[in-house]
């Protein structure tokens, strides 16, 4: 294609300017990729921090509502009241567990009996949120046993695991006995099997774990469970999975996003900020290419005039300048994608002593395809104005200049 050869010759005739243009485009693309990877990595890290020790989807019994009883013979409407003393529970929870295990998106399941209680040690009393779990699944939702700093995770029939802040508040340690008084008025002497430290205040200060069978008589639930906590392979699928599970089981399914509305809003605002930075990067690329090609078109007015005088159509001149913009944008975008990936990979390799990356960056989510397409398209758009200007040059006027 002759237009391509002419465009390449124009670019190579001034290599320093061409290299400067390509370097500017590559720098803009590198910034684009860095911002995209940083925002994606930050979203992943914040999500992991929030959901690392909590469920992605919580299943609970459907909310009971008082019903109006029909009856034509009744002088006034009668209402079926809802008992507030009877615990809501999931009675057919084994069937729900089987359904969850068949779901490929589910990575961990924890049927639980949750309730409120008090721990009493001599004159010290502390409120506690009790979680009755299956002993073999104690780490399904929260990593408890790897964070035990005293004792072990063997719950047994009378075992109890408490957080380090609660242990300090009550003066408890592994092997000591403590009285548990539940919201149902049931009391039982339990033994602290282990003390854990997760670093999450809500767990370390106010949550205690015991076995599911031990929790049943304490909370008057001989058969069912109060909730089923679910972990997913991808936390971002929580809304869709919760919707499916709610329809399939008739239970109230709550995704983690509904419990952390503030975090979701912050992630959206963060994404919008990143989008604005990406737009400004593209605008700077377009302005740089357009200004350089306008200058090139002005400098080559005499050459363009001679070509027009020999009968070269304006469409050919248009294609020459469009191809210049395409080549600059494509080469600069490819170099920028490579340098952006290298920069993000290098930053990811800089870690703290605990092995976590200093910057929450995700090199594989740098938006390389978008950067390549948008930059190339932007470069072509930037070359339209100088291309149209060059294609409309009057041959006689250009030659005289």
At what angle are helices 368-382 and 261-299 packed, to 10 degrees? 40
Confidence at residue 309, expressed as pLDDT on a 0 to 100 scale: 64
Confidence at residue 343, expressed as pLDDT on a 0 to 100 scale: 92
The CA distance from 76 to 110, in Å, is: 46
Mark the ranges of the chain whose per-residue pLDDT is less than 70.
Answer: 1-4, 6, 10, 64-87, 295-312, 314, 354, 389-401
Q: Are strands 187-196 and 159-163 parallel, antiparallel or unpaired?
A: parallel
The CA distance from 79 to 62, in Å, is: 19
Structure tokens at 245: 């599970």
Confidence at residue 142, expressed as pLDDT on a 0 to 100 scale: 85
Query: What are the angstrom distances between the C-alpha of 32 and each of 45, 63, 362?
Result: 20, 47, 13
Q: Whole-angstrom distance between the N-terminal and C-terminal Cα of the chain?
A: 30
Confidence at residue 25, expressed as pLDDT on a 0 to 100 scale: 85
């Amino acid at each position: 294609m002759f237009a391509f050869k002419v465009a390449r010759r124009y670019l190579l005739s001034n290599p320093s300017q061409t290299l400067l243009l390509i370097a500017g485009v590559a720098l803009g693309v590198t910034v684009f990729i860095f911002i995209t990877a940083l925002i994606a990595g930050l979203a992943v890290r914040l999500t992991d921090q929030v959901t690392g020790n909590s469920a992605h989807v919580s299943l609970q019994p459907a909310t009971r509502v008082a019903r109006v009883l029909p009856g034509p013979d009744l002088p006034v409407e009668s209402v079926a009241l809802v008992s507030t003393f009877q615990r809501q529970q999931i009675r057919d929870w084994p069937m729900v567990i089987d359904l969850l295990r068949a779901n490929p998106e589910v990575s961990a399941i924890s049927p639980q009996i949750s309730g409120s209680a008090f721990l009493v040690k001599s004159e010290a009393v502390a409120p506690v949120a009790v979680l009755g779990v299956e002993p073999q699944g104690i780490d399904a939702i929260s990593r408890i046993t790897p964070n035990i700093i005293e004792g072990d995770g063997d719950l047994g029939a009378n075992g109890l695991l408490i957080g380090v802040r609660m242990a300090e508040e009550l003066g408890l340690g592994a092997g000591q006995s403590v009285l548990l008084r539940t919201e149902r008025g049931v009391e039982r002497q339990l033994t602290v099997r282990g003390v854990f430290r997760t670093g999450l205040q809500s767990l370390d200060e106010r949550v205690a774990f015991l076995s599911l069978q031990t929790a049943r008589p304490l909370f008057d639930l001989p058969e069912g469970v109060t909730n089923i906590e679910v972990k997913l392979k991808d936390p971002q699928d929580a809304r869709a999975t919760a919707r499916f599970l709610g329809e399939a089981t008739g239970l109230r399914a709550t995704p983690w996003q509904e419990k952390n509305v503030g975090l979701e809003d912050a992630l959206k605002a963060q994404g919008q900020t990143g989008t604005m930075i990406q737009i400004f990067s593209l605008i700077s690329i377009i302005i740089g290419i357009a200004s350089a090609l306008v200058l090139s078109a002005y400098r080559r007015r005499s050459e363009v005039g001679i070509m027009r005088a020999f009968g070269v159509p304006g469409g050919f001149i248009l294609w020459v300048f469009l191809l210049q913009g395409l080549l600059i944008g494509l080469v600069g975008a490819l170099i920028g994608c490579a340098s952006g990936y290298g920069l993000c990979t290098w930053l990811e390799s800089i870690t703290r002593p605990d092995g976590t990356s200093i910057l929450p960056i995700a090199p594989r989510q740098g938006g390389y395809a978008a950067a390549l397409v948008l930059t190339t398209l932007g470069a072509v758009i930037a070359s339209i104005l100088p291309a149209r200007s060059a294609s409309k040059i009057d041959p006689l006027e250009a030659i005289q200049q």
